[in-house]
Amino acid sequence: MKEISEVKILILARRFRSNQSEADEHDFFYNQKMLKNFNNPSQSHFIKYDLFSNYKQYLNWEPSFVFFLGFDPEALEIKKEFKNSKFGIWAKCYSSSIKDEFKNFYEELDIIFDSCFINIFSQKKNYFYLPTAIHQKFEYKILKKIYISFYKKRLIKQVKKIDILFSGSPRFNRSDNYRQELINILIKKGIKVLICSPKRLWTQSNFKIDNNYEKNLFFSEHNYWATQEMYENAKFVLDLPWLDTIIPELEKKLDPQFALGWNVFRSGFHGSNLITYDCEMNRSIGLNDKNCNFYTSGINKLFNLSEEIEHIIKNIDKNKIQYNKTNIKKLFNDNHSYDERWKLIINKINRISK
Q: Can you say whether the dihedral through the CA atoms of 302, 303, 308, 310 is positive or negative?
A: positive
Residues 6+ apart with CB under 8 A from 314: none
Residues 218, 162: contact at Cβ < 8 Å?
yes
Q: What is the pLDDT of residue 259?
A: 92
CB 103 within 8 A of CB 318: no
Neighbours of 315 (CB within 10 A): 8
Average of pLDDT values for 64-81? 97
Number of domains into which the chain is organized = 2
* Max CA distance (Å), the chain: 80
Task: Kindly state whether residues 200 and 301 are assigned to the same domain.
Answer: yes
Question: Are 101 and 167 contained in the same domain?
Answer: no
For residues 252 and 327, the model is more confident at 327
Statement to judge: residues 132 and 277 lie in one domain: no
Task: Classify residue 2: in a domain, yes or no.
Answer: no
CATH number for the domain that contains residue 43? 3.40.50
Confidence (pLDDT) at 122: 73
Percentage of residues of the chain with pLDDT beyond 70: 99
DSSP 154-175: HHHHHHTTSSEEEE----TT-S
Find the range with the poorest average confidence among 197-211, 313-327, 329-343: 197-211
Specify whether 286 is located in the same domain as 148.
yes
Residue 55: CB atoms within 10 Å: 19
Alpha carbon distance 272, 159 (integer Å)? 12
Residues 11 and 159 in one domain: no
Higher pLDDT, 243 or 20: 20
Neighbours of 333 (CB within 10 A): 15
- Please indicate, yes or no, whether residues 127 and 150 belong to a single structural domain of this protein: no
User: Model confidence over 134-186: pLDDT tens digits?
Assistant: 999 999 999 999 999 999 999 999 999 999 999 999 887 787 899 999 999 99
CATH of the domain at 310: 3.40.50.2000
Are residues 188 and 331 located together in one domain of the fold? Answer: yes
Same domain, 36 and 95: yes
Domain residues for the domain of 94 are 7-136+337-353
Measured CA to CA, the distance from residue 113 to residue 110 in angstroms comes to 11
Phi-psi region of 177 (alpha: psi -120 to 50; beta: other; left: phi over 0): left
Residues 176 and 61 in one domain: no
Q: Return d(Cα 268, Cα 285) in angstroms, integer.
A: 11
- 204 lies in a domain? yes
- Statement: the pTM of the whole predicted model exceeds 0.75: yes
CA atoms 214, 215, 220, 226: torsion sign = negative
Task: Considering only residues 328 and 210, tell me which one the structure prediction assigns the higher pLDDT.
Answer: 328
pLDDT at 276 over 50: yes
Q: Are residues 94 and 218 in the same domain?
A: no
Task: Let me know whether 156 and 277 are in one domain.
Answer: yes
Same domain, 288 and 211: yes
The pLDDT assigned to 4 comes to 56
